[in-house]
Structure 1
Amino acid sequence: MEEKQEEAAAVTNMENHLKKIVIFMCVFAFAKAHAQTAQEETKAYKKRVLETTEVDFLTSYYSQDGDNAAVSGGIGTEELTDVTGTFIVSIPLNDDDVLTIDAGVSAYTSASSSNVGPFDDGLADPFQASSGASSSDLWANITGSYSHSSDDRNDIWSTKLSISSEYDYFSLGVGGSYTKLFNEKNTEISVNGNVYIDTWNAIYPTELRPFGEGGAGLSDRLFTQNTITGNTNYNPRFTAFDSEGRNSYSVGFGLSQILHKKVQGSLALDFVQQDGLLSTPFQRVYFSDIADSFIDNFQLADAVERLPDSRFKVAAGGRLNWYLNETVTVRTFYRYYFDDWGITSHTASIEVPVKITNKFTLYPSYRFYNQTAADYFNTYESALSTDEFYTSDYDLSEYSANQFGFGVSYTDIFAKAHLWQFGLKSIDLKFYQYDRDTTFSSSIITAGFKFVMD
C-alpha cells in the first residue's frame, strides 16, 4: 500500500515538474515573440529621412558693371545681366534613401562678352556692346544625387552625377561623400570628393582668327574692309591652344561639433587640383612693348590670355553659430585660401537672423573679401611680349570687396497654402549688393519657394 502511495506521489510530482516546464516554455516563447514583434514594429515605424516629396523653386536676377573687362584686355565695359531658374526635387525612395534631381537654366546678356567680336556692326568700342553672337548665351545644368542613411542615422553615404553645357563649354562631373555622426549626434565628421571633366569649344577674338593655322592674316576681309590705324603692321602673337580639355579634382574634410546647447562650430578643409586649359581663350592681352593697332576705337589684341596648365588650391575655414535666444541667432564664417598661382585671400562674414514672428525671419548680413594678385596678372598694357604667362582678368588682381545683404523668410510648418497637391512650406527673398575697390559692382535678387507633397 505504501509503495502504491509513493508511486502515485512520484507521478504527481513529475506531472507538476512537466507543468512548470511547459508553462516556462510558453512564457519564454511568448516573451520572444513579443520582443521580435516590438523590434519589427520599431523598425517598421522608424523615422524616415525625408517624410514626403519636396520641391524647391529658386530664381534670381543678377546685374553687374565695371570698366575692366578681361575680354578687352583690362579696359571696357563689364556690363552683364543674368536670369536663372532652378527646380530641386527631393524624392524619398524608402525610409533610408533619397533621390534628388537639380535642374536649372541661366540666361545672360553681356556687353563685355559681346566684344569677342566687336566689329559686327556700327562703331567698335570696348565700352559699347556689340550685337555679335557672343552677346548672350544659355547655360543649362542637371544634377542627380542619391543618399542613403543607416538605420540609426549615424552614417550617411551619397553620390552624384552632373552635366552642364553652354555655347563654348561642356562639363561632366561625378562625386560622393560620407558623413559619420557620433557622441549622441553632437559630433559630425565628413569627407567628400568630386571630379569634373570639362571641354572647351575654344572661341578666340575675331581679329586673331585670321592669324591661326591656315588663316589669311592681313588679307582677311576683316582687315581689307576696315582701316587699321596706329601700328598698321599688325602682327599678333597667336597660336591656338593644343588641348581644349580641363580636369578638376577636389577632396574636402569637415568637422561639426555642438559646443554648447546654444553654440555650434564647424571646420572645413578643401583641396582642389586643376589640369588642362585654364586660360579663357577669348580674353585679350595687350603688351607694353608692342605698338597699338586699332579698328575704329577698338584696340586689336596682341595675344590671348596664357596661364599655366595646372593649379593647386587650398581653402580652410570655420563657422560659429550662436543661438542667443528665441529671437536672435548669430552666424559667423571665416575662410583662408591660397594657391600656387600666388593668390591668397581672406573671407569673413556675419549673418544675424532675427525672428520677428512665428512665421517671419529677417536676415541682415555682411561679407568682407580680400585677395592678393596672381603672379601672372597685368593691368592694361603692362605685360611684355617676352612673358611666358599673362592675363588682364581683374578676377585675378589684387582687390578688396564688401557685400551687404538683407533677406526675409516666411515659414509655415503646416503648409496650409496649396498649389495643386503641394503645400507651401517656406518663401525666401534676399538681396545682395557687392562692391570691389576697383570699378566693379554687382547686385543680385534671389527668391526661393519650398513645397511639400501632401
Structure 2
Amino acid sequence: MRLQLNPISDMKYLFSLLFIASVLVASAQEDNAAGEYKKRVLEHTEIDFLLNYYEQDGENAAVTGGRGTEELQDVSPTIIVAVPLNDDDVLTINANISAYTSASSSNINPFDGKQPADPFVASSGASKSDMWGNVVGSYSHSSDDRNRLWNANLSVSAEFDYVSFGFGAGRTWLFNEKNTELSLNGNVYLDTWSLIYPIELRPPGDDEPDEDDYMLDDEDDFSGSTFELIVPGYNPSFTEHPGKGRNSYSAGLGLSQILSSKLVGYVSADFILQDGLLSTPYHRIYFADKEDSFYENFHLADDVERLPDSRFKIALGGRLNYFVNHRITLRTYYRYYTDDWGITSHTASIEIPVKVTDKFTIYPSYRFYNQTAADYFAPYNAHLSTEEFYTSDYDLSEFSANNYGFGVSYTDVFTQSHIWKLGLKSIDLKFHKYDRDSEFSASMVSLGVKFVVD
C-alpha cells in the first residue's frame, strides 16, 4: 500500500508547532524581564526558506538490475524556524517536503499497457512519482558562560515505501578561551519498510489469472504467476524478505582548534551501525547462470537485491580554513571512509569564498570523490545464483566523481530590507554539477533566504 503525504496537513502541523513556540517565547521573555542582562544565544527568531531543484540521468538503474534509465527530477522546499525561548535556549523546527518524478522507480511496474515495456523508457505507472516528507524538532541549551552546550532532537519522515522515526542528542565544550571546541553526538533512526517487489515477482493472488490478466494493463490485475504462465521457462529464484525493519545508530566526535590568527583546523570521527533490512526490495537482480526471460522489451527479474543484515561504517575527516585576507578564505576538506561491505572511499574538496563587497560574496567550489566497489556488487546479468549476497546498484560500485559548484551570497547583518515584519538577513544561490565516470550525471540549483523576525 502506498503511503500518500498531505502537504497541507504537514504545514498545518508545522504552524501549530510554531504557534506553541511563539507562546513559549513570550512567556520566557516576561520571566526574564526583571532579571540581569545577558547576551542571548539567538537575539531574534530566524526563518530560513530553502528551495532545491535536482535532476539526474544515467544508464545503470538498480530498479532494472543495473541497466536502464536513471532519470529523475526533484523539487524540495524547506522551512527552518529557529526560536529563542530565553537567553540560553533555542527551539528549531525543520520541515521539508520533496516531490520527485523518477523514471527508474516507475519501472517497478513497467507493464502499464501504454507502450512496450523497456528499461530505458519510463513507465506511466503509479510509482513514477511520489513525495517524501520530513519534520525535525531540535532543542539546544547553552550555559551562562557559553562554554557548554547540549542539544536534543526528534524527527519523523515518510515516503511511499518507508517510515522513519529518529532521536538524538549532543554535547559541546569550549576550552582555552573558546579557541578549542569538542563535540559529541549520537543519533538513532528506526525505519520500517513497505515490501514492494518488482511486479513480476509479487506473490500470486488467490484466484487464477483470467483472460484480461494476459494483457498486463493494470498492476492490480496480475502477479508473478501470470508471467510464469505466459513466458515459457520463466522460473525466478525468489523468496520474500523475512523482515521489514531497519535500525541505524550513529556516534560522532569533533574537535575544532584555532591554530593561529588565520588558520582554523577541525577533525572528526563518525561511527555508524545499521541492522535489519538493508536491501531495497524492488531492486532487480539477473543471474548469468540462468536462462534470460523477456516480456516485450523487458528482462524479467531472477531475484531481488540481497545484502547482509548489518553494516558498520567509519568516517574520519578533517578541515583546514585559511583566511588569506579580509576578502579571500580557503576552505579545504578531506574524508576517509570504510565499511565492512568492502567499500573504501576518499573525498577531497576546496571552496574559495571571495568577498566582492561588504554584502556580496562569491564562492566557487570543487569536490573529488572515489570509492572501491562493495564485495557484493556486480553489473547487469553478471551475478551467479549460487551467491549469498548480490546487488547491481551502481552506488555500491567502483567509481570516481567530480562535483563543480558556484555560489553567490548576499548578507546584511543589520537587516535593513524588510518584508512586513521580516528583516532580510541573507540570500544564497548555488549551482552544482556532478559527474561520475559510470555514465551518471546530476545538477542541482538551490536558493536560500533567511529572515529575522523583528
Output the TM-score relative to the length of structure 2.
0.88
Structure 1 residue aligned with 2:153, among 160, 163, 168?
160
1:348 is aligned to 348
1:264 is aligned to 264
- Whether contact under 8 Å (2:251, 2:270) holds in the other structure is yes
Distance in 2 separating the partners of 1:386 and 1:97: 57
Q: Show the 5 A alignment for 1:34-433.
A: 44-121=36-113, 122-210=115-203, 224-225=214-215, 232-433=232-433
Q: Residues 329 and 270 of structure 1: is their aligned pair in 2 closer, same or farther, counting only changes over 3 Å?
A: same
Q: Residues 263 and 209 of structure 1: is their aligned pair in 2 closer, same or farther, counting only changes over 3 Å?
A: same
SS at structure 2 position matched to 1:224:
helix
Distance in 2 separating the partners of 1:45 and 1:236: 72
Distance in 2 separating the partners of 1:107 and 1:231: 36
Q: Residues 237 and 414 of structure 1: is their aligned pair in 2 closer, same or farther, counting only changes over 3 Å?
A: same
1:7 is aligned to none
Residues paired across the two proteins, number = 412
Match of 2:291, as an amino acid?
A: A
- Whether contact under 8 Å (1:231, 1:292) holds in the other structure is no
**1:237 Cα deviation after fit:** 1.1
SS at structure 1 position matched to 2:181:
strand
Distance in 2 separating the partners of 1:115 and 1:384: 23
Distance in 1 separating the partners of 2:272 and 2:35: 41
- Whether contact under 8 Å (2:231, 2:295) holds in the other structure is no
Distance in 2 separating the partners of 1:453 and 1:362: 26
**1:258 Cα deviation after fit:** 0.2
Distance in 2 separating the partners of 1:158 and 1:169: 27
Distance in 1 separating the partners of 2:212 and 2:280: 23
Unaligned runs of 5+ in 2: 1-31, 217-225
**1:261 Cα deviation after fit:** 0.8
Distance in 1 separating the partners of 2:341 and 2:144: 46
- Whether contact under 8 Å (1:177, 1:192) holds in the other structure is yes
Deviation >3 Å, runs of 4+: 40-43, 214-217, 219-231
SS at structure 2 position matched to 1:292:
coil
- Whether contact under 8 Å (2:371, 2:399) holds in the other structure is yes
Q: Deviations over 1:368-417 (max 9, x none)?
A: 00000000001011100111000000000000000000000001111111
**1:223 Cα deviation after fit:** 6.8
**1:210 Cα deviation after fit:** 3.7
1:12 is aligned to none
- Whether contact under 8 Å (1:177, 1:193) holds in the other structure is yes
Distance in 2 separating the partners of 1:384 and 1:419: 62
Q: Deviations over 1:284-322 (max 9, x none)?
A: 000000111111101000000000000000000100000
1:28 is aligned to none
Distance in 2 separating the partners of 1:347 and 1:302: 36
2:29 is aligned to none
Distance in 1 separating the partners of 2:281 and 2:434: 27
**1:225 Cα deviation after fit:** 3.3
**1:44 Cα deviation after fit:** 1.6
Report the identity percentage.
Answer: 66
Q: Residues 150 and 112 of structure 1: is their aligned pair in 2 closer, same or farther, counting only changes over 3 Å?
A: same
- Whether contact under 8 Å (1:207, 1:222) holds in the other structure is no
Larger CA Rg, structure 1 vs 2: 1
RMSD: 1.9
Match of 2:90, as an amino acid?
A: V
Distance in 2 separating the partners of 1:309 and 1:370: 25
1:29 is aligned to none
1:34 is aligned to none
Output the TM-score relative to the length of structure 1.
0.88
Distance in 1 separating the partners of 2:203 and 2:170: 48
1:37 is aligned to none
Distance in 1 separating the partners of 2:43 and 2:211: 65
Q: Deviations over 1:158-211 (max 9, x none)?
A: 000000001111000000000000100000001000000000011100000146
Distance in 1 separating the partners of 2:261 and 2:392: 50
